[in-house]
Structure 1
Amino acid sequence: MTTDFPLLDAQGIRYAVQGRTLLAPVSLQLQAGDFLLLTGPSGSGKSTLLKILASLLSPTAGDIRFEHRDLISLKPEWYRQQVSYCFQTPQLFGETVYDNLALPWQIRQQKPSRDALVASLESVHLAADMLDKRVEQLSGGEKQRVGLLRNLQFLPKVLLLDEVTSALDEENKKVIQQLIRQHVQQQQLAVIWISHDASEIRHAEKVLRLVAPAQGESHESA
């Protein structure tokens, strides 16, 4: 599905702290159904860019438009349901996995069925009894998958993924990649995914490569 204007349009985004540039100017456009891999060396500002696009940081310069509307004109709570950021190391809430997966439902004053949450867990190779497991007992890979599933309970229009498979083995990485690509193809989800996976980058239709600000130009798209 295409429109006359991008779903998400970021132009000249720059970020600096105390005179030090952490993200040199970068521009990108995203349509519904786009899958964009974001790559580059440490210090090039990949996570910073995603946090700015998620409205978790304010850029030093540049403009962001969502569905042709200026970001500053949108209610943050509404925007963050449309453009959802998934951390590399997610901050889990409450006491159990159930608390985390139920949170997006509770925000919308709805109650999820346990069967639906169990099916969600099983889609990323997590057992049904994981639902009542305490968050402090989870491994790093389990936390990453629970954090991602929390973001997918109500599908956003744009999903920003910050190395969300870094703690997973190869089999489970493929499971997550397949799940996300399924949403892209079937639900027209737009995704920006930070990745260092050479195979994933090589086969990607869209790649944005960042370089460290001190090295000159901040972006090179392919």
Structure 2
Amino acid sequence: MTSDSSLLEVQRVTYAMQGRTLLAPVSLQLNAGDFLLLTGPSGSGKSTLLKILASLLAPTAGQIRFKNRDIATIKAELYRQQVSYCFQTPQLFGETVYDNLALPWQIRQQKPPREALMASLESVHLDAEMLDKPVEQLSGGEKQRVGLLRNLQFLPKVLLLDEVTSALDEENKTLVQQLIQQRVQEQQLAVVWISHDPDEIQHAEKVLRLTAPERGESHESA
């Protein structure tokens, strides 16, 4: 049964391409404030599921509802402001870090506050002066943090994270985890986070484990 805090409902969603099943049937309900870790072996469809939830792919079968509305009936640009997907390897735009952090403001026809953008960089241990740094000069870990900050300029209702700490050292990985957990607790942000980290999985309150399609369906455990 749907609760008042329900954001996303996924009902037996599958995905196939050229006759090959890439995602076995998945069902889940995501509520405000949920932090769900998504795990499973390579080929089980973790990234495929996130792209479907982000409306970047259309499921072969099944239905996804956002706030009790079929997402197929919601304009993509409006839906993606509420359900935001952060890639493992961020697709950075323009020439500089500023171009990327300013983009969410510009889409909303608002002036990007330069000091706030610099403060956001410092919140993930990046130098504020990096704001004008060319994106081609960023390391993999710096790109991951800039990509995440771009998604957090305006908080969505649901944040989809595809191994966004994979290029970070342990200190910065912990920093990003704490930042996301803070948003979950303070803003009732709902998060789906792909992870292979045994420690993260062990301590997660909600875990969805996917299995390879030929081995059966996914199941959820707490």
| Residue of structure 2 in register with 1:201 after alignment | 201
The SS at the match of 1:30 is: strand
> C-alpha distance in 1, partners of 2:11/2:130?
42
> C-alpha distance in 1, partners of 2:193/2:43?
17
- Which structure 1 segments of 5+ residues have no match? none
- Pairing 1:149–2:149 present: yes
1:5·1:68 contact (CA, 8 Å) conserved in 2? no
| Residue of structure 2 in register with 1:9 after alignment | 9
In structure 1, give the amino acid aligned to 2:145.
R
- Which structure 2 segments of 5+ residues have no match? none
> C-alpha distance in 1, partners of 2:217/2:65?
23
CA deviation after TM superposition for structure 1 residue 208, in Å: 0.2
Q: Within 5 Å, which residues of 2 pair with 1:25-36?
A: 25-36=25-36
The SS at the match of 1:7 is: strand
- Pairing 1:211–2:207 present: no
Distance of aligned partners of 1:141 and 1:25 in 2 relative to their CA distance in 1, 3 Å threshold: same
> C-alpha distance in 1, partners of 2:112/2:175?
24
> C-alpha distance in 1, partners of 2:144/2:187?
22
Q: Within 5 Å, which residues of 2 pair with 1:17-166?
A: 17-166=17-166
Q: CA offsets per residue over residues 111-146 of structure 1, 9 Å max, x none?
A: 121110011000100001110000000000000000
CA deviation after TM superposition for structure 1 residue 219, in Å: 2.8
> C-alpha distance in 1, partners of 2:160/2:32?
13
> C-alpha distance in 2, partners of 1:131/1:80?
25
Percent identity at matched positions? 82
In structure 1, give the amino acid aligned to 2:82.
Q
CA deviation after TM superposition for structure 1 residue 6, in Å: 1.8
Distance of aligned partners of 1:58 and 1:107 in 2 relative to their CA distance in 1, 3 Å threshold: same
2:5·2:32 contact (CA, 8 Å) conserved in 1? no
What is the RMSD of the two structures over their aligned residues, measured on CA atoms? 1.1
In structure 2, give the amino acid aligned to 1:134.
P
Aligned residues: 221
In structure 2, give the amino acid aligned to 1:75.
K
| Residue of structure 2 in register with 1:181 after alignment | 181
In structure 2, give the amino acid aligned to 1:167.
A
TM-score w.r.t. the length of structure 2 is: 0.98
CA deviation after TM superposition for structure 1 residue 5, in Å: 6.0
In structure 2, give the amino acid aligned to 1:120.
S
Distance of aligned partners of 1:127 and 1:10 in 2 relative to their CA distance in 1, 3 Å threshold: same
Q: CA offsets per residue over residues 171-212 of structure 1, 9 Å max, x none?
A: 000000000000000000000000011111111100000011
> C-alpha distance in 2, partners of 1:13/1:72?
13
The SS at the match of 1:25 is: strand
> C-alpha distance in 2, partners of 1:30/1:174?
24
